[in-house]
A and B are shown apart, each in its own frame.
Chain A
Amino acid sequence: MESRDFDKLDGLIRVKNYEALSVEERIFVSGQLGGEQAFTNLRSLVLEAQQSESLLVTSSVKADLVKQFKGKHQKTSFVWLGYRMPAYAQALLLIFVIVSVWFLKPTEQVIIDRAVTVQLPGKTDTLMIQLPADTVFIEKRIRVEVPVYITKTEADVKDSPEVIKGSSLSDQQGLRDLLVSGK
């Protein structure tokens, strides 16, 4: 049987009643199957088969199968975002995530109250604005001890007025008295 004839007969059986066939098609059908009755019966059989193509399965069958499937596959592995992972890898990943979160946790934010004066035309008011810590100025007094050395040059002994050369002790005493008393 030619491929074209096979497809043509198949098509006619599926879509047309015998009454709807053209004269040419009826001749073709007679040649292939032998006549109207054979065509009609075969068509009934095909249509009946098509109607029974799909038949609803009880939902419990699916539930049971899915349960079986999960039972078999989820004991040792776990599929996460498209990747199948063994149980130990899951545990390691979990630990890694916890540790990462712990260390990467942001430090506590310090809120500083600061008074900001805003000048409005014809009106003066004070707004309290809470801002996160910005620049902090710390005033410190630092006491530093620095040793200071002063150098003094002594005058030449020869020029000292207090030493009078060539005089006795009594002369010197007399002279001192004179100078002190001013007489």
Chain B
Amino acid sequence: MGLFTNYSNKTDEQLMILIQDGDHRAFESLYERYANRLNGFFRKMLWSDQEMAEDNVHDLFTRIINRPELYKQGYDVKPWLFRIASNMCKNAYRKRGFEDAYRQQLEEYQITIPSVERKIDEEIQTEMLHKALDQLDEDRRTIFLLRYQQDLSLKEIATIFDLPEGTIKSRIFYIKKLLAGVIEDDENVLKDGK
């Protein structure tokens, strides 16, 4: 676009319209705003696989390059991007049939981890938290990460899932209780295993 355009002042939505017009600087600006966040999201969603996360970031922006018309004026860009990301994660799960395999892997891991240590040090605690998150189904994990990792509002999450805000709120509350329960259960497992 114009040589003297200040892209940092533009909204995401304005940038998307410029991208549809073929403005590569607008594309770079949007990339700068969201690439790292999407990378963090993908990494958490896709089994902490950094390479896979970056591949997905690349694929997501490639879709924007090839099909910019998918963005319709009036959409909020942030939820739109995270909806694409969320769908990509679903595809990844489906494609690899990963979820079952991964749960199986976790179960095996659980057997080897405890290492008979009574003290739950920070590392194990973190690992347990990871497990707790991984044990959520993909929609709940997505909602949790969008809310607490990406700090999206209830409205934005509702847009992504095409659900009323109240439903999202209930789900988040349920997820919180579930996670709290899962963690307690895991600790009990470790205590029992001593």
Contact = CB atoms under 8 A, between A and B. Distances in A.
Given A33-B180, A42-B179, A70 B24 contact: yes
A16 interface: no
Nearest to A81: B2
Nearest to B172: A6
Contact of A49 (B37, B58, B149, B173): B149
Q: Chain B's interface: helix, strand, loop or mixed, by majority?
A: helix
A58 to B, nearest CB: 6
A149 interface: no
Nearest to B57: A57
A91 interface: no
Contacts, number: 127
Interface string B164-179: 0000011011001101
A54 B133 CA distance: 18
A117 interface: no
Contact of A37 (B5, B126, B179, B184): B184
Max chain A C-beta neighbours (<10 A), residue from B3, B129, B172:
B129
A65 interface: yes
Interface residues of A, number: 41
B44 A79 contact: no
Contacts of A69: 24, 27, 65
Interface in A1-60: 1, 3, 6, 9, 13, 33-34, 37-39, 41-42, 44-46, 48-50, 52-58
A79 B148 contact: no
A82 interface: yes
A68 interface: yes
